Every structure is written in structure tokens, then in C-alpha cells.
Amino acid sequence: MTLTDIAPSVFETVESEVRSYCRAWPVVFEQARGSRLYDEHGRSYLDFFAGAGSLNYGHNNPVLKRALLDYLAGDGVTHGLDMSTTAKRDFLETFRSVVLEPRALPYKVMFPGPTGTNAVEAALKLARKVTGRETVVSFTNAFHGMSLGSLAATGNAAKRAGAGVPLPHVTRMPYDHYLDGRMPDFLWFERLLADPGSGLDRPAAVIVETVQGEGGINVARAEWLRGLADLCRRHDMLLIVDDVQMGCGRTGDFFSFEEAGITPDIVALSKSISGYGLPMALCLFRPELDQWQPGEHNGTFRGNNPAFVTATAALDTYWRDDTLRDRTLARAARVEGALGDLLGENGRSAVSFRGRGLVWGLEFADGKQAAAVCRRAFELGLLLETSGPYDEVVKLLPPLTATDDELDEGLGILARSVRHTA
């Protein structure tokens, strides 16, 4: 037929070769509601990717949608730079009362540009500025973004190669489990820090994800995170948690580091903070670190007010009590069980699984098998993506608001896909 036949052409002829997800899912999406996307022919897809973690409350969540439509219809300020607006005030007050105060977190809130990489760039700048040091420590298989500052802290070789210039000032340490327990935690790191001959210039900060999403759903133990926080304190390094993908309830708690009982010095938030998939990012830090000059870091879209409106609605709706958190934790057990069954049954191709809250990874022997599973899942109506250094890990990031039936449906399709491709 015609429209479809012609339609893709503009993507192929005009859009850059850099496009990626559209290659795995070769349809044109038109609508989205809750846990589902619909293509232009009305076919529905269960979304277990959720905007790479940007849609924790589902697509076009009706409560947030109502708030957004009202705000836009009423000619609320749309683009606000860093002017004070009522929408920003509502957000700040809500964030303070719903998120910060109940957790006794003393953070100041910065609005960097509205993307994760910008929040990370701001965090790294601030850490370097405050400490007067240049080196930052990041971890194997970390992903922190694609602008030069955050790309330097990212591990992926292909993405690093895109920089076209060296990416200095970052030293790499092994993430939890990286050496399979064959070296005591932080032995190497601490030795380097303690030894004036080690060659490690004293770091400004350590930046860490509590669960590495792009890196292959690598889950740090709470104990490891506490060890890291302790190391930072003892060696006077700032601890930055990049909670861009794992924050906003993905692991159960609002912040992914709560479980470990640590308080990072700086936190980067983005993706699901607006709750509606609108670009928004925050950088949080201890008040004594708030040594910015006015405008020293800025960005045109740091005051994306429609995002403040949906963010406020999301906090109001989902974080005034523990309902969502508890449900997410409960579902973690459900997913874990399903994956356990699946692995028991299909140990030939899938080799292991791990996760926390509603982020899970099913590791295959290689990237080819993982891709085949995702391809089959897509045919069966389920959107899944891979991650990991070899794209060998199938990643499960369903909306936190998915129903039990949707969760079961997705896990069922996954199981079938594994079976079909094993």
C-alpha cells in the first residue's frame, strides 16, 4: 500500500544515519497510552522500554495530562529560562515537601539544561570547581551521557570513539561484581588514594550509578555503595549519584540510593522527573556546595515550565505515600520469579539475570541472541531493548504503572521469545 510505503522514506532519505531505535522497531508510531504504544495502523505494542526509563508513570498518564492541558490552555508560561514562575514555585515547594523533607535531604535544587547529560555536566563542573581538582573517578560500563564532559565518564568504546578528541580527567574503577569477587571491594581504589606515588591525582569526585542501565543492568549491592560512600568521606571526594535512569521510583524508592542509606553530595536527575516524557533535569547538591556564580552554568530550556507542571502532578500523585514504592518492590519479586523460571527452562541461551525494583536484565551468551529475542518480542507485540558492552543483556523497564496483567503479558511474551529463538 501507499502511505506506509512512502512514509518511511523521509526517515531514510532525510534523517541522519545516527538514528537507532527506529531500526529495531520498523514501524511508525502514532499514539501512546499507559503501557502501550500504537503504530499508525493501530497495532498495539506493550512497552517494556518506557522511553529508556523516562516514562515511569506510563505514556500520557491521564492525571498528568489533565494538569498539562489545563496549564497550556490557560496560557501558563511555557518557556521560562530561569525566571521565577508559579509553575516552578509549585514544583520546588512540592519537591521540597514530598521528596526532600521526608528523607531529610538538605539539597539545593539546580535546573541545568533539560537533559541527563546536562545534569551530569553541571554535577562534574560543580565538583571540580568546589574542590579545585580535575580528576573524576567513574566506573567500568558507566553511562553518563554524550556531551564531552559526561562522555569522558562513560565507558562504552563505540560512543567514546565518536568524540574525535581524547577524553581526559577521568579514572576508571571496577564496578561492583566486575572482578567476580576476586579482589576485595575498593582494595585497588583505596591503595591508589593512600599512596602518594600511585599516580592517581587526587579526585574531585566519584560518579556512580546504583544500577548501570546502559552498562547491562549491573546492580551494585547496598553494602558496596555504603563502602563507596565511606571511601569518599574518608578521602574527601564528593560522591555524585547519577540517578538519571534509576531515580524517580525505578528501583522502588524515589531515589535509587535510599536503599543503601547513603546521602550523595550531588545527585543528577532527569528522564522520569517530569513524569510525562517532557525534557527536564535537576542537579541536587548539599547547600555548602552551592558555590555557583549566577549564570555560571545555564541553558535555554532549563525553565521548561510544562515539565514542571507534570513533574508536580507526578509527585503529588505518586509520592505522597508509599503505595507506588511498595508496589514496585512487590513486583520486583514477581519479575524475579518469572525470570528465574525462564532461566531454569532456557538455560541454553539466557545465562543469568539480575535487577532491582522494576529494572531487570536477562543476559544472553552474546549480542546476537539478545537481539533475536528482542526481534521476536517485537513481532509478538512487546518492545524490548538490549544493553551491556556486547548488547548481550535484554533490558526490562516496564512503566511502574503497568497493571499486573500487563506485567504478566510482557513476561509471557519475553518467555515465548526466548523459547522461539533458543
**By CB under 8 A, residue 249 contacts a copy of itself:** no
142, 185, 245, 329 from 174: Cα distances, Å: 10, 9, 20, 28
**By CB under 8 A, residue 200 contacts a copy of itself:** yes
**By CB under 8 A, residue 191 contacts a copy of itself:** yes
**Under 8 Å CB-to-CB from 221, ≥6 apart: which residues?**
176
Cβ distance to a copy of itself smaller for residue 274 or 346? 274
Cβ distance to a copy of itself smaller for residue 138 or 263? 138
**By CB under 8 A, residue 196 contacts a copy of itself:** yes
**By CB under 8 A, residue 367 contacts a copy of itself:** no
- Minimum CB distance to a copy of itself, residue 345 (Å): 29
Interacting span for a copy of itself (CB under 8 A) from 61-69, 346-354, 404-412, 413-421: 61-69
Interacting span for a copy of itself (CB under 8 A) from 62-70, 336-344, 397-405, 412-420: 62-70
Q: Which of residues 72-101 bind a copy of itself (CB under 8 A)?
A: 72-86, 88-89, 92-93, 95-96, 100
**By CB under 8 A, residue 129 contacts a copy of itself:** yes
Q: Which of residues 301-320 bind a copy of itself (CB under 8 A)?
A: 301, 304, 306
- Minimum CB distance to a copy of itself, residue 10 (Å): 4
**By CB under 8 A, residue 182 contacts a copy of itself:** yes
Residue 87 phi/psi, 5° resolution? -65, -40
DSSP labels, 308-344: HHHHHHHHHHHSSSSHHHHHHHHHHHHHHHHHHHHHH
Contact in structure between 378 and 352 (CB atoms under 8 Å): no
**By CB under 8 A, residue 262 contacts a copy of itself:** no
Residues in the chain: 422
Give the number of other CB atoms < 10 A from CB of residue 82: 14
Residues 142-171 vs a copy of itself: string with x where CB under 8 A? x--xxxxxx-x-xxxxxxxxxxxxxxxxxx
Cβ distance to a copy of itself smaller for residue 101 or 322? 101
**By CB under 8 A, residue 277 contacts a copy of itself:** yes
- Nearest Cα neighbor of 206 from 254, 264, 159, 285 is 264
**By CB under 8 A, residue 23 contacts a copy of itself:** yes
**By CB under 8 A, residue 5 contacts a copy of itself:** no
Q: CA-to-CA distance for 309 and 274, rounded, in angstroms?
A: 8
Beta bridge partners of 173: 139
Buried b (16+ CB within 10 A) or exposed e, 293-313: eeeebebebbbbbbbbbbbbb
**By CB under 8 A, residue 102 contacts a copy of itself:** no
- Minimum CB distance to a copy of itself, residue 375 (Å): 15
Residue ranges of the alpha helices (H) in 215-295? 222-234
Containing 404, the helix (H) or strand (E) segment is helix 404-421
Amino acid, single-letter form, for residue 257? F
CA angle 400/404/409 to nearest 5° reads: 100
Cβ distance to a copy of itself smaller for residue 25 or 224? 25
Q: CA-to-CA distance for 235 and 399, rounded, in angstroms?
A: 39
Helix 323-346, helix 404-421: angle, nearest 10: 20
Q: How many residues bind a copy of itself (CB under 8 A)?
A: 153
**By CB under 8 A, residue 4 contacts a copy of itself:** no
Of positions 117, 263, 328, 386, contacts a copy of itself by CB under 8 A: 117
**By CB under 8 A, residue 11 contacts a copy of itself:** yes
Q: CA-to-CA distance for 188 and 308, rounded, in angstroms?
A: 43
SS3 for 349?
A: coil
- Minimum CB distance to a copy of itself, residue 18 (Å): 4
Cβ distance to a copy of itself smaller for residue 15 or 341? 15
